[in-house]
Amino acid sequence: MWQKLLVVCVLALPALVLTAQAQNNTPDIKLAGVVPKNSAEQFELAFWESIKDSTHISDYEAYLKAYPKGRFAALAEARIARLRAAPGKPATQAETPAAAPPKPAPAREPAREPARPAPAREAPVATAAPVPSRPAASAGAEFKDCPNCPALIPIPAGSFTMGSNNSDPSEKPAHPVTIKAGFAIGKTEVSVQQWNACVEAGACQKVALSAGSNANAPIRDVSWDDAQQYLKWLSSTSGHTYRLPTEAEWEYAARGGTGSRYWWGEQMVTGKANCKDCGQPWSSDAPATVGSFAANGYGLHDTSGSVWEWVADCWHTSFKDAPSDGRSWEASPCTVRVIRGGSWREGAAYMVASTRFKYDASVRHSQNGFRVARNVK
């Protein structure tokens, strides 16, 4: 159910041929033709493309649950049979879940980078000195509401231009937004250690982690619904009402007081974010420890790359008629929520401050995490 993260190359090419092969002696299945944007067929193709070389049974099981009659169902079943027959097959997160969500997402370590085209907005990586951040409105000093609470940064009220007219259609139109009241947001994404404090309290589900996972790595493979459990526990523990940031609050904070393409300027430079094109430290297997890269003008780390971050809003395909006051944009029904910021597995093009995508609220994926927010008086 990779459909929120993946935008297949069919949008940029007059014709597309995708090949999926269960094993070396299995004939290729060729898919030709332009697939409509945001179509169910596109999402299925994107999902398969992102897992087709995986060595994890859970990836193919997730595909079959999402597309039981999909065009790659037979190939997925063949891969599962082959992996189960192989000696010393790798363990998967989905084989020992705490609670299976309605539509499990693929846990894709060590899957390849999702098969997505580079958006037109992508700029070449600069090798010269980093572009300095623009002056930002002053944010407050960081604070914590309890020993196990994430560190928070107070963000001042203000106005900014949300979205972009020069990138993906979902980010259009660029529009003015006024954040009328200041709020506090996590200095970093919620870490494994912070999540585990909730697990130990019996309020959150344990997340199966890869061997050698760092306690200060961002928690990931959590759904929007899982994040709500953590926020409920954190609110009761701290005495303050925690929530996810709204999409407008998230972008406002992520920009760090700038209006540029990236929070650090108009050109992509290395050493600013955790992505595959962004410089060290970087590993294809897992994101870096939270706070490993420079903070933006508001003192926030990892708003670009690291893990995709859940926000409060329901997904809308564009910003047409979006609220201008920074509130969460709801819908009924609302089963799909917004994720922001890209992940360590994406390229430089996805580090742009306006980058957004969608995911089912009940689905867990190994590239999805979150940071917290709360109101301040």
User: Residue 342: what residue type?
Assistant: G
Yes or no: say if 157 and 304 are a contact pair by the CB < 8 Å rule: no
233-237 contact pairs (CB < 8 A, 24+): 233/198, 233/201, 233/203, 233/204, 234/149, 234/198, 234/372, 237/146, 237/148, 237/149, 237/201
Which residues are CB-contacts of 45 (< 8 A; sequence separation ≥ 6)?
8, 10, 18, 31, 35
The confidence score (pLDDT) of residue 40 equals 64
Does residue 87 have a cis peptide bond before it, meaning omega lies within 30 degrees of 0? no
Q: What Rg do the C-alpha atoms of the chain give, in angstroms? A: 20
The full set of domains in the chain, from first to last, is 2-95 (no CATH), 118-377 (3.90.1580.10)
Report CA-CA distances (Å) from 264 to 111, 129, 167, 258, 369.
30, 12, 18, 8, 23
The confidence score (pLDDT) of residue 55 equals 78
pLDDT, block means (10 residues), the chain with 377 residues: 40 35 40 45 74 78 83 88 72 36 33 38 37 51 95 97 94 97 98 96 90 86 97 97 98 96 93 91 92 95 97 97 97 96 93 95 95 94
